[in-house]
Amino acid sequence: MRERNAAILEKAKLYENEFIKSISKDEKPSFHLCAPIGWINDPNGFSTFNDEYHLFYQYYPYDTIWGPMHWGHSKTKDFIKWEQLPVALAPDEDYDMEGCFSGSAIEDDGKHIIMYTGVLDKTNEEGKRILRQTQCIAIGDGINYEKLDCNPVITNEMLPEGSSLEDFRDPKIWKDGNEFYTVVASRSKDGSGQILMYKSRDLRNWEYVTIVDKSENKIGRMWECPDFFKLDENYILVISPQEVKADKNGFHNGNNTAYIIGKYDKNNNNFTREKYSVIDYGLDFYAPQTFEAKDGRRIMVGWMHSWENRIVPHDFKWCGMMTIPRELTIKDGFLIQNPIREIENYYKNTVEYNDLSIEKEISLEGINGRAIDITLDIDASKSEEFQIKVAKNEEYETLISYNPRKSIVTFDRSYSGKYGDTLHRRDISVKENDGKIKLRLIIDKYSVEIFINDGEHVMTSTFYTPLNATDITFSSQGLTLANIKKHDIIV
């Protein structure tokens, strides 16, 4: 049995190693982690180990669509340059035969500890299908990982009464003192999401602690991919709600991401919710995960894709990217996100324009390309609308616009070159400021992450326009004053 199981993982490693070579480096993003081959989704195991940063991800190397989940693996020293490592986990045990689903990792006592969801799907002797999700542990050295012989360590018998046996996944592990803790996504007896907490002293024996928070069918239904951490004096619960109905607070239909800020009483295991909000307002952002870096920064990364809107070209041999890692802070009770500061080490060919008066559509010498960091300070108080077009040529363009009258920022990829009738446009309402706004765009070949007003809001979206579309233009309906600074990102 053990030899058969080892063969499943070895097959994935050999396949990955052989076929990665079939994809040119030029076809992939310059500084965002993406699928080495095949498909990736949720980021997993974002952690420090041996003074390097590791990121795992849900992975199916054999096709560019979702399949039985493995764990892919990469590492970095600066969050910009990523080194590909061998596949870490494969679905090769009875308890994870249908997939090694999402989870997390920590470093402890010189070991790299992975906690993940194992999925069992089988038919019993009576012909009844049995689908179960349980929590499992694997321990490794940064390259090779061995699953515990006592897996699964958290089973369905440890769920609150009435909870779903089939929706119980995505453990996020941390250590506090001598005890390990984890929060796990679950579906309660009313059919909506709840986040459960467990604790252990030895990783093998776990006990149920509490329900941290629950949806009660008010913030979507099932909550996926929880994260729970302290930031300044606040505790933050990150969730990825499914089955959401759009509302005027920024939630859109379908899968969303949200954060809940509150207070946590450790002695009584009680989390008190104070407010909640959307994390990212773009078309392609899901399942974020955070960790605390060596210098104390809380850093988050998300999956830069959408379950509902697949726009990756059919001839690509890879599918799925991660966002640029983001530094998280709290300001006035809200979560602030900004690109990892290490990106500044890769700035080249800086171009700056100050006190520009923009009315008709213009291009600016030195401002173009598909791997750039560009910041715009805009005063559009005398304008009806200000527009930026990126990834542009005579045939294609992707549009970012600001309407100062309605205080709305819009992303629109309708003319980016995708033939399918998928969702192409999304709006976000920003605070009124007499027509003034600051926009920072991180563009990397097939994506743009828009950081608004120093990270108060973020919109993340992808577009797969041919790479020869590199022009950038600016235009205004009425007069807009602007300061613009651009850096090429050369990795």
pLDDT digits (tens, 9 = 90+) for 134-146: 999 999 999 999 9
Rounded to an integer, what distance in angstroms lies between the CA atom of residue 134 and that of residue 113?
A: 17
Q: What is the pLDDT of residue 91?
A: 97
Q: What is the reported pLDDT for 199?
A: 98
Q: Please list the helix, strand and coil fractions of the chain in percent, rounded to the nearest 5, in that order.
A: 5, 55, 40
Confidence of residue 2 (pLDDT cuts 50, 70, 90): low
Q: Where are the domains of the chain?
A: 2-339, 344-489
Nearest to 379 by CA among 438, 442, 454: 438
Average pLDDT, the chain: 96
The confidence score (pLDDT) of residue 4 equals: 57
CATH number for region 344-489: 2.60.120.560
**Other Cβ atoms within 10 Å of 42 Cβ, number:** 25
pLDDT digits (tens, 9 = 90+) for 34-54: 999 999 999 999 999 999 999
pLDDT digits (tens, 9 = 90+) for 210-232: 999 999 999 999 999 999 999 99
Indicate whether 95 pLDDT > 60. yes
Cβ atoms of residues 335 and 277 within 8 Å: yes
Token reading at 311:
């726009």
The catalytic position among 26, 42, 63, 421 is 42
Cα 101 to chain center, whole Å?
A: 15
Find residue 76's DSSP bridge partners: 53, 82
At 320-360, the pLDDT tens digits run: 999 999 999 999 999 999 999 999 999 999 999 999 999 99
Residue 304 has pLDDT above 90, yes or no: yes
The residue ranking higher by pLDDT, 85 or 123, is 85
Q: Within 13 Å of residue 172, how many CA atoms lie on the same side as its CB?
A: 25
Q: What are phi and psi of 204, to 5 degrees?
A: -95, -35
**Residues 24-29, mean pLDDT to the nearest whole number:** 95
- The verdict on whether 42 is a catalytic residue reads yes
The pLDDT of residue 309: 87
| Helix, strand or coil, per DSSP, at residue 59 | strand
Q: Residue 23: pLDDT above 70?
A: yes
Residue 3 has a pLDDT of: 57
More confident residue, 60 or 420: 60
Reduced to 3 states (helix: H, G, I; strand: E, B; else coil), residue 322 is strand
Q: Is the pTM of this model over 0.95?
A: yes
The dihedral region occupied by 99, where left means phi > 0, alpha psi between -120 and 50, and beta the remainder, is left
Please choose, from the candidates 83, 63, 87, the residue with its C-alpha nearest in 3D space to the C-alpha of residue 318: 63
438 φ, ψ (degrees, to nearest 5)? -115, 125
Count of other CB atoms within 10 angstroms of residue 353: 17
* Residue of 423 and 237 predicted with greater confidence: 237
Give percent of the chain with pLDDT exceeding 90.
93
| pLDDT value of position 153 | 98
What does the pLDDT read at residue 421?
80
DSSP string, 90-131: -S-SGGGTTBEEEEEEEEETTEEEEEEEEEEEEE-TTS-EEE
The answer, yes or no, to whether residue 154 has pLDDT greater than 80, is yes
Query: Distance (Å, rounded) from C-alpha 416 to C-alpha 398?
Result: 5
Beta-carbon contacts of residue 18 (< 8 Å; ≥ 6 apart)? none
Residue 471 has pLDDT above 80, yes or no: yes
> Considering the domain 2-339 in this protein, what is its CATH number?
2.115.10.20
